[in-house]
Structure formats: C-alpha cells, structure tokens
A and B are shown apart, each in its own frame.
Chain A
C-alpha cells in the first residue's frame, strides 16, 4: 500500500494528547494501523507528552508510596497482539463488530450505501460504499471532514486518494469526488458537522446532487 496523503500534525498531536472526538480518533487509529510513517510521527508526539510530563511536579502525601506498594499484585502475563483477521483494520473492526460482511449498510440511492458507526458526541463516523465510477454524494463541507480510503479510490479535480490515503477537508473545500472505475470504493468518513445526508433527504435532493 503506497500512502500519499497522511494525517496532519494537528490530528496526530491531538490524538497523542487524547483530545480528539472519538470519530476522529477512529480515523487516526485506523490510518496509523495502515501507515508506518504516521505511526512513527505519532510516536514522536507521544514523546512530547513524555517531555511535558517531566516538567511539573505536585507533592504526593507521605503514605502514598506505601499504599501503592501494598496494592501491587501479580503483574499481567505478556500477551501476543492479536493479528488482523479480516479486511478491516482492528480498531475499525471493533466498531463494526466484525469484518466487511458484518457492516449493516443502509442504501442512499444509486448504489451508494452508508453505515453510521456508534461514536461519542462532537463528531460522527460512517462507512461509505460508492460503486466504481459513481460520484460521492454530499460535499460542501461544514466543519472538518476526514475521509480514509479502505478499498478502491476516488478522485477530485486536484488529487487521487487510494487505499490508506486520508483526505482532510474543511469549509474552504468545495469539490465533487468521483469513485474511480475498477473496484468499488469503501471509505471511513468522520465529520464534526451535523450529518447531512440521511437516507430520505438525498432521495429528495437527487436532481440537485445528481446522485
């Protein structure tokens, strides 16, 4: 997998700090699972966290060490990490509750499907399925939208996004991505704007959005 479009420094630092909405964390964790470059950059930002930790101290009470020593039990036995079993990277598979076959797709019309994933407030995450050659619905952005390609590819007027690539778009981006011919395109998308295309509305708006 040759990844050309990576996570931004802001996203990696926000994720290292533990301060992203869950939906964005899911995109970061999934991309990092596929991309060693961003895994290494994340490691560097976690090292900044270590440096920040070293800067300040607050006095602990006298008894705290004894209390802590008293509760130390048998350490955990080492466990081998579970290797990826299916197509979906592990963090995403955890949200789907299985692999691609377990995704509960909802049709949006013209073969486009989506599955909203259960995440906390502040941003939402969904899987999108766009048949090869089909244009991606929606797309003026409000807020920040991250789109991570899992299979296939899409293009807009500037760039091509293939497997592992993440597109970072904000209000200033106005574009009409189109899934490439060949494999159907599957993406993980997260946005902190309210979800705009519910199943019913796009059907009403079909003539306008050409979906």
Chain B
C-alpha cells in the first residue's frame, strides 16, 4: 500500500478558490462548478461604449464584493435610528427637538427622525436587493444546469486533489469500479461511471440551501412591505366605564398603510369595566408590576351581544378579525369644576399619564366653557400631577412612592385665559399651551398650588370658582391592530433558517475512483476527493470509502511500507504553490518556531 502524506488541513473558501482558478488547468472540469458562487470579475475594465459601461456597472453591483460593502453600509446606516428618537414615538421626538434646537434642522433634513423610511436607508437596501436578484437569478440557472448534468469526469491527475489515496490490488479494474460505484451510491452520492472511472458528487443541498436562504430574504422584504402597506393600527385610551367602537373618529391616533384606509375598519367595540393591577410590595423591585389585566366586554357587528373578556400583556384579544393589545394604564382623577358664577363648567375623569414606574403622572384639566363673573368666556385650566401614593421630598418635590392607590393626591396649578382651542389647530389633550393664559396667584402673590385628597375642593382666588376632586377611575390604553404580512414573514423566516442550515452545515464534495491495470498484473486503485470547503473531512471520507472497498479490492502489502516524505514528493511531482503570498513559501529552515 503506497502511502503518501503531505499536508495539514486547508481553508474552506481557499480550497474552492484553488479549484476555481489556480488549479483549474490541472483539474479541468472536475474542479469547476463546485459551487455557483460567481467569479470575482471586478478587475476587468469596462468595455467600450455605453453598453460596455452599463454591463460593467451591473457586474460590479452583482459582485460578492459589492454585496459585502452594501451589507456593511446597511448595518452602519441602521445605527442612528437606534440612538435618535424616531417618529413612531412622537413625544420623544418633540422632547429631543426642544432639547437640541441647533442640530434639529440638520437632522430633519437628513431624515434622522425616520431613519428606516429615509431615502438613504431605502437606497442601501434597495441596491442590496437588486444586487441580490442579479446574483441569485444566474446562480439558480447555473445550479439547475449542474443538477441536470453528471458529475464531472475523473481528472487526469488525481494526486493533485486536496485529498488522495491509492493502493494496489489483485481485483480487476472492473470489479473495483463496480464496488466503488456501489459504495458511493450507498453513501448517496450521485454517481457516473465511465469505463473503470467512477465520479461521484454529493451535497447539492448546500447550494440549494444557499439559494433558498437568499430567496427567503426576498420573501421577508415582501412581507415587510405587505405589513407596512396593508397593516394598520390605532391607539385608544379608555377610562373605566367607557366604551369604544371601531370607528375612525373614536381613535386617539390612527395610522393605516397605503392599502388600508379607515373605511376598511371592522365593526366591533368594547368597553373597559375595570383594570386590575398588582405590584410587588416588597423586595428590590418594589413597585414594579406583577399583573396588569383589563376586564372588558366586547361585541362584534353593529348590534352584537356584549361578551365578557380580558386583555393582558402578552395576551391580546382577537375581536372581529383584529387584535387588541393592552399597551399601558394609569389613573384618571374625576373632577368637578365650577366657574366664577357657580355653574358646573366641567365634570368628568381626566386621564393623567404616568411619568415613572412608581406612578407619578402628569395631566391637564381644560375647561373651555367657563365664564367669568360678568358672564364673559374666560377659559380655565389646571395643570399638575397625580400621585397614587403621595410622597414629598426636597429634591423631587411631590411624587409617588408606589403605583397603587394607597394615598392618592392631586396637586394642581390653576390658569385662566385663552386655551387656544379655537385657533383650529389640533391640540394635545395632555399638554397645556400657556402662551395666552395667566397663572392664578393667591392674594399674597404666591402661585396657586394645592394638593388635594379625594373629596377635597380647591377654591380659586378672586371668586374665580373651584375644583373638586371627586374620586379616581382607572384607564387603560389599547392598540387595535390590523395585521398583514405576518404569515409571509414567518414562512420566509423559517425558510431562511432552513436554507442557512443547509448552506452552512452541508458540505458539497466530489470523490473520484479510478482503477487501471498497473502493468505488472496488479490493479492500481486511485481515489481523490475535492470539497467545496473543508478538506479535513473529505480526507476522512476518502479513508472511509477506501476502507469500505477493501473486501472487494484488498490492498496488497506495500513494497515500501514507510516511504519517506521526499518520495512522496516525487510522487506528487511539481506542485505549484497556488498562491504566492510570502506565507506560502517554505518556513525558514533555521526557524524552529515555524513548526512550534
């Protein structure tokens, strides 16, 4: 058994490149087309004329290198959107813009507040997907071609393959090739036999997986598009005891995709009966939520019967084909405001929005219908905070120390003047525009500021009226979402993962076996293998196949059982260094470290 031994493992990709260029003359068709990866053609200069340039540009765009650069740019471009508030959270954007007035115009121009729909972000991913299409279409055809053709014929010099084995046997070449064919078929190789040469190939699923993965990326893109075009969502804050019908006018905010308008809304509704919340009462996370549950009644159709239901975080409710999610919750103090003439100018629950996890909430009571002593309109407003569990300290002032209603208090300032509602601009009900309002002062000049317990009344100076803190209701806010593209996204995602696994875990490789009379009556069996990647494993596989052939083609004892490496050298002959990097030259003899 002749034994030659030459080198350690190789590098996945490098092997492929070897096969593709450096050694293609030696291996011929055998080494080619072991993948559908496009050859790098960037070095070529553009041909003449416009067509030549266009073709050159297309080739650039669809090259792996440009795909790589585009991927890199995509990840860079995604960064600003994670650090700068985005328009989906308008409150934060407003706060940011107020805080950074100098940079805001520039950011606005660059689309920094809506990065993921900005032209430059879109440009990158569109280019990437064009590149991807330009890449996978030809690769798919090439792959189909490879599937329909047979494994390439045995190369002349099997010794030049990354893994190689040979031995002499008494069996005839026909017996050996028949056995080899059986063995390779048994290992689920695709086999093609010419004379006494057997060629086998396996692992086509790698290529298929890779193509499937890249196609699935398109699926994801389409699903994303469907979601944003056909999906819609509306937000609604409901105070305990109130109801909601799925009607455009009822939403606090509504955003529908281009293909989904307000007229597509399903008829249904629900009412909030009560809201249950429990909180950790001790421990390090004291005050953080433990259960949040909205108890509701819902109905479908114009006159459906109300059914009891509940909505909690992670457990949305499906009503009439739409899904209703619980988003947040809080308290709404119930107040009665009397104006200067003693008439009730406002009565009702006013939702206050929580500002921290312990329930400190801010809110505004707007009283547009108030009259002054003379019966002239004099709008009133109250602004302040609500604390479910009142606490006071020097640094933070009044705040809440626990989110449950243990010691509720309402702390308000009072204003009068013009609310600005008549200006016709839509107003945020949670914010007070004080440009045309004056804050009320006590006779001693102090600003009016009162902390009220439920049942308390604050009387305004100068007989301007009063506000009574009647009680507290809970509120919850919901997102009603019409969903589209979910299934497509899920299926594409699953296909992407499967494709990836095929692409990364399956090795595509070829094994050739040739049996020829050696001239002295023996048969010389030669076996070589070439992997699209990873040569260590192909060597093991060759060893396994060789072992499997032993019963049919037993190896004869080797005349020289322990050939020295120099002989091995002679056997393989003049192997050109495939790559002329300095690293490829032989290690310096003086240098024991090279082998250390």
Bound together: no
Taking Cβ atoms with an 8 Å cutoff, the residues of A that contact B are none
